[in-house]
Amino acid sequence: MSTKIKKKLNLPYILLCVLIILCLVVYIFPIVFSAVTSLKSSDEFYASVWALPKELQFSNYADAFRIGKIGKYMMNSVIISAISLISIQVLALMAAYALSRLKIPHVEIFLMALLLLQVLPTESMIIPLYITVSKMHLLNIPYISTILGYVGWSLPGTIIILKNYFDTVPIDLLEAARIDGSNEVNTMTKIILPLMKAAMVTCMIMNFTYVWGELMWAQVTTLLTDEGITITVGLLNFQGQYGTNWTLLTAAIVMVIVPLLVIFIALQKYFVAGLTAGGVKG
Report CA 226 to chain centroid distance, whole Å.
24
Determine the 3-state secondary structure of 244 from DSSP.
coil
Q: Are 230 and 77 in contact (CB under 8 A)?
A: yes
What is the CATH architecture of 69-277?
Orthogonal Bundle (1.10)
Is 40 exposed, middle or buried (CB count within 10 Å of its CB: 0-12, 13-18, 19+)? buried
User: Residue 88 pLDDT > 90, yes or no?
Assistant: yes
The secondary element (H helix, E strand) that includes residue 183 is none
Condensed to tens digits (0 to 9), the pLDDT of residues 259-280 reads: 888 887 877 776 666 555 544 4
pLDDT band at 238 (very low <50, low <70, confident <90, very high): low
Report the pLDDT value the prediction gives residue 140, as an integer from 0 to 100.
83
Q: What is the mean pLDDT of residues 102-131?
A: 85
pLDDT tens for residues 3-36?
555 555 677 888 888 898 998 888 888 888 988 9
Total Cβ atoms within 10 A of residue 60: 23
Question: Could you report the per-residue pLDDT of 89-106, keeping only the tens digit for each?
Answer: 999 998 998 888 777 888
Q: How far is CA 243 from CA 40, 73, 246, 257, in A?
A: 16, 18, 7, 20
| 22-80 tens-digit pLDDT | 988 888 888 889 889 989 988 888 888 888 888 888 888 888 888 778 888 889 999 99
How far is it, in rounded angstroms, from Cα 147 to Cα 223? 15
- Reported as a single tens digit per residue, the pLDDT across 146-199 is 999 999 999 999 998 888 888 887 778 777 877 877 777 787 777 788 878 888
Q: What does the alpha-carbon distance between residue 105 and residue 99 come to, in Å, rounded to a whole number?
A: 9
Please list the helix, strand and coil fractions of the chain in percent, rounded to the nearest 5, in that order. 75, 0, 25
CA end-to-end distance (rounded Å), the chain: 41
| The predicted structure's pLDDT at residue 252 | 85
Q: Where are the domains of the chain?
A: 3-37, 69-277
Tally of residues, the chain: 282
**Overall pTM surpassing 0.85 (yes/no):** no
User: Collapsing DSSP states into helix, strand and coil, what is residue 31?
Assistant: helix
Q: Does the pLDDT at position 127 exceed 80?
A: yes
